[in-house]
A and B are shown apart, each in its own frame.
Chain A
Amino acid sequence: MSVIERFRDPALARRILTEIRTLADRPMAFMEFCGGHTHAIMQFGIRQLMPTTVRLLSGPGCPVCVTSQAEIDQAIALSQLPGVILTTFGDMVRVPGTQFTLQEAAANGADVRIVYSPMDAMRLAQAHPDKEVVFLGVGFETTAPGVAASILQAQALGVNNYSIFSIHKLTPPAMRAILDMGEVRLHGVIGPGHVSTIIGSHAWRFLPQEYGIPVVISGFEPVDILVAIRELVAMVVHNEAAVINAYGRAVSPRGNERAQELMYRVFEVAEADWRGFGLLPGSGLAIRAAYGDFDAKRRFTLPAIPSREPPGCRCGEVLRGIIEPPQCPLFDRACTPANPRGPCMVSDEGACAAYFLYRSVEQTA
Chain B
Amino acid sequence: MCLAVPAQITRIDGLEAEVDFGGVRRSISLHLLPDAQIGDYVLVHTGFAIGIVDEEEALKTLDLLAQMERMGAQDDERD
Contact = CB atoms under 8 A, between A and B. Distances in A.
Nearest to A139: B2
A259 B29 contact: no
A66 B3 CA distance: 17
B47 A197 contact: no
B31 A153 contact: yes
A120 to B, nearest CB: 7
A43 interface: no
Contacts, number: 121
B70 to A, nearest CB: 11
Nearest to A140: B1
B12 interface: no
Contact of A250 (B1, B3, B33, B53): B53
Interface string A171-201: 1000000000000000000001111011000
Contact of A248 (B28, B33, B43, B54): B54
Given A139-B2, A197-B4, A117 B53 contact: no
Given A118-B46, A194-B50, A149 B55 contact: no
Contacts of A19: 72
A89 interface: yes
B65 A227 contact: yes
B55 A3 contact: yes
B22 to A, nearest CB: 10
- Which size class do B's interface residues fall under? 20 to 34
A279 interface: no
A122 to B, nearest CB: 10
A316 interface: no
B38 interface: no
Given A36-B3, A139-B2, A250 B51 contact: yes
B62 A142 contact: no
A236 to B, nearest CB: 17
Contacts of B32: 145-146, 149, 256, 258-259, 262
A63 B1 contact: yes
B72 to A, nearest CB: 7
Interface string B1-20: 11110100000000000000
7 contacts: A89-B46, A117-B47, A142-B2, A143-B46, A146-B47, A248-B57, A250-B51
Interface of A: 3-4, 6-7, 12, 15-16, 19, 33-37, 61-63, 89, 116-120, 139-140, 142-143, 145-146, 149, 152-153, 171, 192-195, 197-198, 223, 227, 246, 248-252, 256, 258-259, 262, 349
- Which 6 interchain pairs have the tightest Cβ spacing? A117-B47, A149-B31, A249-B58, A197-B51, A34-B1, A146-B48
